[in-house]
């Protein structure tokens, strides 16, 4: 009977020590996760304040700007990190399980989006170009200064004009002209000059090529994000199991 009691105490001690180790590792991990969310939120707010006139190019999703995406992402990361921190430090099974489920749902959603993107890439290309062309008609109109500035910056920086061709602008103006940001050498009303003074490269393909050239950096970022999420899932489930074990052996 004494030997059995000693074995139970030993198992209880081992479970407790293991739990404490995982507890602090998970707390540190989620603290960094939460701080990362704070950073993302801060960058989003900074962009919204300093680059408030730079909005999405899409007419279907006018709120889908870089600043808004970062603000939403940062807020979600902070909430999840906070739940993980409290769950770890309090050794609360409910919070640990909630953290695991939230992180798993986000991971599966991201995986689904990536798979759908590669499967329907051609359809997405066609839809994106159609939507961007529709957005051109909002250029220079009241209440669309963000979209106007976004197109001006992209055409100037990427040395391109229009979505698939500079003639896209002809339908917008109902005339043979383009915005001044399409000009090889910027000057007032230079978009009224001959096509020989305009950029000829299509913006959609130019930006797409630029993204493909930087695909390695995007891939590394995506892989690191996935690894962090998998690590968080592992920590959460491991600690949840250790809490259950500790409750069983030390009850």
Q: Where are the domains of the chain?
A: 2-107+231-249
pLDDT (tens digit per residue) in 82-114:
888 888 888 888 988 999 999 899 889 989 988
Q: Are 106 and 45 in contact (CB under 8 A)?
A: no
Residue 248 is predicted with a pLDDT of 67
SS (H, E, C) the chain: CHHHHHHHHHHHHHHHHHHHHHHHHHHHHHHHHHHHHHHHHHHHHHHHHHCCCCCCCCCCCCCCCHHHHHHHHHHHHHHHHHHHHHHHHHCCHHHHHHHHHHHHHHHHHHHHHHHHHHHCHHHHHHHHHHHHHHHHCCCCCCCCHHHHHHHHHHHHHCCCCCCCCCCHHHHHHCCCCCCHHHECCCCCCHHHCCHHHECCCCHHHHHHHHHHHCHHHHHHHHHHHHHHHHHHHHHHHHHHHHHHHHHHHCC
Q: What is the pLDDT of residue 6?
A: 59
Rounded to 5 degrees, φ, ψ at 141 are: -90, 165
CA nearest neighbour of 74 among 109, 94, 46? 46
pLDDT at 70: 83
Which pLDDT score, from 0 to 100, does residue 11 have?
62
> Do 180 and 190 touch, CB atoms closer than 8 A?
yes
CB 197 within 8 A of CB 203: no
For the record, the structure tokens of 168 come out as 């896209």
- Here the tokens at position 15 are 């479970």
pTM over 0.85: no
CA quadruple 129, 135, 139, 144: dihedral positive or negative? negative
Which residues in the chain land under pLDDT 50?
2
Contacts 24+ apart (CB under 8 A), 58-65: 58/131, 58/132, 58/135, 59/131, 59/134, 59/135, 59/137, 59/138, 59/147, 60/131, 60/134, 62/147, 65/146
């Amino acid at each position: 009977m004494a030997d059995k009691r000693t074995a139970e105490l030993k198992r209880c001690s081992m479970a407790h020590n293991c739990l404490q180790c995982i507890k602090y590792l998970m707390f540190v991990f989620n603290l960094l996760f939460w701080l990362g969310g704070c950073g993302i939120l801060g960058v989003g707010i900074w962009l919204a304040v300093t680059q408030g006139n730079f909005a999405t190019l899409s007419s279907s999703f006018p709120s889908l700007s870089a600043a808004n995406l970062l603000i939403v992402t940062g807020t979600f990361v902070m909430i999840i990190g906070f739940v993980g921190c409290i769950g770890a430090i309090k050794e609360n099974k409910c919070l640990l399980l909630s953290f695991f489920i939230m992180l798993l749902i986000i991971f599966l959603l991201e995986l689904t989006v990536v798979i759908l993107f590669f499967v329907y890439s051609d359809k997405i290309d066609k839809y994106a170009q159609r939507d961007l062309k529709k957005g051109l008609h909002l250029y220079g109109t009241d209440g669309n200064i963000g979209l106007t500035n976004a197109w001006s910056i992209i055409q100037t920086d990427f040395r391109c004009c229009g979505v698939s061709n500079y003639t896209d602008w002809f339908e917008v103006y109902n005339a043979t002209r383009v915005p001044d940001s399409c000009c090889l050498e910027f000057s007032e009303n230079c978009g009224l000059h001959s096509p020989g003074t305009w950029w000829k490269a299509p913006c959609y393909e130019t930006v797409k090529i630029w993204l493909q050239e930087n695909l390695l950096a995007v891939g590394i970022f995506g892989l690191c994000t996935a690894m962090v999420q998998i690590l968080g899932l592992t920590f959460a489930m491991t600690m949840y199991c250790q809490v259950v074990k500790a409750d069983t052996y030390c009850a």
